[in-house]
Amino acid sequence: MAGHLVLYNGAKMPILGLGTWKSPPGQVTEAVKVATDVGYCHIDCAHVYHNENEVGVAIQEKLKEQVVKREELFIVSKLWCTYHEKGLVKGACLKTLSDLKLDYLDLYLIHWPTGFKPGKEFFPLDESGNVIPSDTNILDTWAVFDFELSSEDMTTLLGYNRNWRVCALVSAVSHKDYPFHEEF
């Protein structure tokens, strides 16, 4: 069995990775350090997990100790639903980079394919307890990565390749079980 997947641009993503979702504060730093020590190179993060800063501390410690080199790691993060509007994407990405203490991500994904009302709440609710959607429709959400980032900002951000994204969207929405099949 191969230890990695080859992505559309030739980059190799390790199949086995450490997920940081639900990692308790105060423990995720140690978990990332131990995982790196035993050979994990793929670390899955997200702003909504509330622990990217601690993950970043662990990554930086292991880089400083020369346990791994940055180019040996495959760091993934995700754009949260309250940041789907075009004007919010760059700031959200840069916040993730700052929290992780990194210059680039290996893959930046849209966490969920629906936007929520922008604001401080991760799950903004109306008076009935329902999540308030954003005014950004599914096509705008998919195109959310069409923002201005210079090559200096994000030279190796794989999730930014527009041609691949469009192909993936067409493939997804053409499937009979895709939830927005009829709308598209």
- Active site residues per annotation: 49
β 74-79/107-110 pair status: parallel
User: Which of 71, 69, 21 lies closest to 47, judged by CA?
Assistant: 21
Residues 6+ apart with CB under 8 A from 152: none
CA 137 to centroid of chain Cα atoms: 20
d(CA 163, CA 33): 36
